[in-house]
């Protein structure tokens, strides 16, 4: 690993990080490094199925409609400017992916084939290989980054942000051989994805341990909306971790949900939080651990969804004839590190894009297939802002309320006592204890009693030291992010979007945003 100071160090290799790296290195000529704890193509992006939501057909759709759908699903918590930016710039970013070689599905006439998912008022989801969209995008971006001069460091675990004179100056890292070191950078982009591994039932890969959010919290960087965890209603209910996802696109093509009596009970194309709650309630009513997804009415399912059909064949199911056992699973973290419209965070020199960020485009609940879009748009914007020499956050997007917390009654600061773990991890054998506690206490439906129980478990995990192995460091990060999430969830004494409380059925009149700040000295 080079000793020089790079212009931009990207942490993470999903759609946001690679989009930024390609632009920063290839287009803007910056000196770029990419650090990833796995191999370059090992990101959650590769697992994304449904696709990228973007207004492609202006005869039947418009960015105003996409904006309205996103705001409606976000339950009063989206930042309108951030959403407008995303829906306006998204189509061009999709066009660039195609120019770089992305092979999206097309109809017989050669036009992009557009799918429909929950909460969308038009068909606007661009997809590849039926439900292999993420894998196709990751393939194209990995190739594009490899073709630039960006230096790629694989199997290197970023531990903590290096902060000097109030500015991010790089990161401390753990090398593959276990030795510790430092990578210095003028700018660092967090593109480390989400934290689905907080839960024992999740669609997220094993790597999704909230590392970037934990690093930000430890450094005192503002994070928000962490209580809004989106649960996907149709993960395959089999004994696997992570649970295989059954794409929502199938419901757009006519698949229906059935309870154990074979009855339909919800509009399958409602927003994802609505469907997940309906499925969970029905499961609780009858004490079941799954309901059914009936895809037998979907035309040509084998031809159109080959990866799903192959995955199901592995467990002895054929969607053309079998109903599929499904249950909700933790899928996406709507909040994260607060950014302005260019990805700048509250720490000069630190940027964030993609699932790790709270850019304001998802609010309290993400519209289906807006996540790949967010990564594309805001990864690209962050690279451009770094290249333009922007330093420090501007009062735009979600950042506006955070910078002006005193003048914004809708922004509430949360005190967060985060233990600085540095290179010391927590006992890795406690990972499953933490995950079980989160699933039972901070799941699709939560209440203060269940959240208090999880808070105790998280405190116990955080206080149990481990070694400096990657497994131990990941558990330490999960404990930090889980603590911030549960703290915010306890303070949000209302039900809103993906945050549903058994002890509060309605949303408050004012949509408040809880911003986590570290209060234990440093940061
Ligand atoms: C899916 O394909 O159902 C998931 C897409 C998304 O997470 O938006």
Cα 51 to ligand 1 centre (Å)? 7
Find, among 235, 257, 253, 46, the residue nearest to 142 by Cα.
46
pLDDT of 242 higher than 70: yes
- Give the Å distance between the CA of 222 and the centre of ligand 1: 28
3-state DSSP: the chain helix, strand, coil percent, rounded to 5? 35, 20, 45
pLDDT tens per residue, range 53-68: 999 999 999 999 999 9
Which of 27-36, 163-172, 425-434, 513-522 is predicted least confidently?
513-522
Taking the C-alpha atoms of residue 400 and residue 316, their distance in angstroms, rounded to an integer, is 52
Among 269, 369, 370, 374, the mutation site with the greatest number of ligand 1 atoms within 8 A of its Cβ is: 369
Residue 500 has pLDDT above 70, yes or no: yes
Give the pLDDT confidence score for residue 405 in this predicted structure. Answer: 63
Pocket test for ligand 1, best of 295, 305, 368, 498 (most atoms within 8 A of CB): 368
Which pLDDT score is estimated for 378?
Answer: 98
Q: Which pLDDT belongs to residue 423?
A: 56
Comparing CA positions, the residue from 222, 144, 186, 193 lying closest to residue 372 is 193
Query: N- to C-terminal Cα distance for the chain?
Result: 28
Q: What spacing in Å lies between the alpha carbon of 354 and ligand 1's midpoint? A: 15
368 alpha carbon – ligand 1 mean position (Å)? 6
pLDDT number for residue 414? 84
| Closest ligand 1 atom, residue 367 Cα | 8
Contact between 364 and 334 under an 8 Å Cβ cutoff? The reply is: yes
In the prediction, which pLDDT does 302 show? 94
Give the mean model confidence (pLDDT) for residues 382-393: 96
CATH of region 245-328, choose from 3.90.700.10, 3.40.50.720, 3.90.25.10, 3.30.70.2190: 3.90.700.10
282 catalytic, yes or no?
Answer: no
CA-49 nearest atom, ligand 1: 2
Residue nearest to atom 4 of ligand 1 (CA): 50
- Cα of 155 vs centre of ligand 1, distance in Å, is 27
Q: What is the mean pLDDT of residues 484-508?
A: 95
pLDDT in tens, 82-91: 999 999 999 9
> What is the chain's mean pLDDT, rounded?
94
**Pocket residue to mutate for ligand 1, from 117, 124, 375, most atoms within 8 A of Cβ:** 117
Q: What are the pLDDT digits (tens) for 124-149?
A: 999 999 999 999 999 999 999 999 99
Q: What is the pLDDT of residues 188-199, one digit of tens each?
A: 999 999 999 999
Nearest-atom number in ligand 1 for the CA of 368 is 8
Query: How far apart, in whole angstroms, are the C-alpha atoms of residue 459 and residue 462?
Result: 5
Average pLDDT, stretch 364-390? 97
C-alpha 200/C-alpha 172 separation (Å) is 29
Q: What band does 412 get if pLDDT is binned at 50, 70 and 90?
A: confident
Residues 6+ apart with CB under 8 A from 240: none
Residues with CB under 6 A from ligand 1: 49-50, 247-249, 368-369, 371
Q: Please give the pLDDT value at position 487.
A: 94
What residue's CA is closest to ligand 1, atom 2? Answer: 50
Atom number of ligand 1 nearest to Cα 117: 3
- The residue from 174, 186, 243, 272 that is catalytic is 272
Per-residue pLDDT tens over the stretch 209-225: 999 999 999 999 999 99
- What pLDDT score does 424 carry? 77
pLDDT value of position 519: 56
Take atom 5 of ligand 1 and give the residue whose Cα is closest.
50
Rounded average pLDDT over 4-13: 96
What values do phi and psi take at 237, rounded to 5? -85, 75
254-279, pLDDT tens digit by residue? 999 999 999 999 999 999 999 999 99
Per-residue confidence (pLDDT) for residue 418, from 0 to 100: 65
CB atoms within 10 A of CB 409: 10
301 phi/psi in degrees, rounded to 5: -60, -35
Residues in contact with 64: Cβ distance below 8 Å, sequence separation at least 6, in sequence order: none
Ligand 1 closest atom vs CA 50: 2
User: Could you tell me the distance, in angstroms and rounded to a whole number, from the CA of residue 54 to the centre of ligand 1?
Assistant: 14
Instruction: Give me the percent of the chain exceeding a pLDDT of 90.
Output: 89
Structure tokens that stand for 208 in this block:
């999704």
pLDDT band at 180 (very low <50, low <70, confident <90, very high): very high
The percent of residues above 70 in pLDDT, for the chain, comes to 96
Domain boundaries, the chain: 8-191+332-399, 245-328, 403-518
At residue 522 the predicted structure's pLDDT band, cuts being 50, 70 and 90, is very low
Q: Quote the pLDDT of residue 521.
A: 44
Query: What is the spatial distance between Cα 223 and Cα 193, in angstroms, rounded to a whole number?
Result: 14
pLDDT digits (tens, 9 = 90+) for 414-457: 877 665 555 579 999 999 999 999 999 999 999 999 999 999 99
Question: What fold is seen in the domain 8-191+332-399?
Answer: FAD/NAD(P)-binding domain (3.50.50)
Pocket-testing residue among 14, 15, 48, ligand 1, by greatest number of atoms within 8 A of Cβ? 48
pLDDT band at 523 (very low <50, low <70, confident <90, very high): very low
Q: Could you tell me the fold of the domain covering 403-518?
A: Methane Monooxygenase Hydroxylase; Chain G, domain 1 (1.20.58)
Cα of 511 from ligand 1 centre, angstroms: 26
**310 by DSSP, 3-state: which?**
helix
């Amino acid at each position: 690993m080079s000793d020089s100071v790079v212009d931009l160090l990207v942490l993470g290799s999903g759609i946001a990080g690679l989009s930024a790296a390609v632009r920063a290195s290839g287009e803007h000529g910056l000196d770029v490094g990419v650090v990833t704890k796995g191999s370059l193509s090992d990101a959650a992006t590769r697992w994304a199925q449904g696709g990228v939501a973007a207004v492609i057909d202006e005869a039947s759709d418009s960015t105003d409609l996409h904006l309205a759908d996103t705001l409606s699903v976000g339950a009063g918590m989206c930042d309108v400017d951030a959403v407008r930016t995303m829906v306006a710039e998204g189509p061009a970013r999709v066009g660039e992916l195609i120019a770089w070689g992305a092979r999206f599905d097309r109809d017989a006439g050669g036009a992009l084939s557009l799918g429909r998912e929950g909460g969308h008022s038009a068909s606007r989801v661009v997809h590849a290989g039926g439900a292999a969209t993420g894998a196709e995008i990751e393939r194209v971006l990995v190739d594009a980054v490899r073709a630039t001069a960006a230096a790629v460091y694989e199997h290197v675990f970023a531990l903590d942000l290096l902060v000097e004179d109030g500015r991010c100056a790089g990161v401390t890292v753990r090398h593959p051989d276990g030795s510790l070191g430092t990578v210095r950078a003028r700018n660092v982009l967090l593109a480390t994805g989400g934290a689905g591994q907080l839960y024992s039932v999740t669609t997220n890969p094993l790597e999704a341990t909230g590392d970037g959010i934990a690093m930000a919290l430890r450094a005192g960087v503002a994070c928000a909306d962490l209580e809004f965890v989106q649960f996907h209603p149709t993960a395959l209910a089999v004994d696997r971790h992570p649970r295989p996802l059954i794409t929502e696109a199938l419901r757009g093509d006519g698949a229906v949900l059935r309870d154990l009596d074979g009855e339909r009970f919800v509009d399958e194309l409602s927003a994802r939080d609505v469907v997940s709650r309906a499925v969970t309630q029905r499961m609780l009513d009858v004490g079941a651990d799954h309901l059914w997804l009936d895809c037998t009415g979907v035309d040509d399912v084998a031809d159109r969804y080959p990866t799903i059909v192959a995955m199901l064949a592995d467990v002895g199911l054929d969607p053309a004839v079998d109903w599929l056992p499904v249950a909700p699973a933790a899928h996406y973290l709507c909040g994260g590190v607060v950014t302005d419209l260019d990805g700048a965070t509250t720490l000069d020199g630190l940027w964030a894009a993609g699932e790790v960020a709270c850019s304001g485009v998802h609010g309290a609940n993400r519209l289906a297939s807006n996540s790949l879009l967010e990564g594309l748009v805001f990864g690209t914007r962050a690279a451009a802002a770094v290249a333009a020499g922007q330093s420090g956050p501007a009062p735009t997007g979600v950042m506006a309320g955070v910078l002006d917390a005193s003048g914004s009654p809708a922004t509430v600061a949360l005190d967060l006592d985060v233990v600085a773990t540095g290179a010391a991890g927590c006992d890795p054998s406690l990972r499953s204890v933490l995950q079980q506690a989160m699933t039972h206490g901070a799941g699709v439906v939560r209440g203060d009693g269940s959240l208090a129980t999880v808070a105790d478990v998280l405190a116990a995990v955080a206080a149990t030291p481990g070694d400096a192995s990657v497994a131990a460091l990941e558990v330490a990060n999960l404990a930090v992010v889980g603590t911030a999430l549960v703290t915010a969830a306890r303070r949000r004494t209302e039900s809103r979007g993906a945050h549903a409380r058994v002890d509060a059925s309605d949303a408050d009149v004012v949509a408040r945003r809880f911003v986590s700040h570290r209060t234990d000295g440093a940061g």
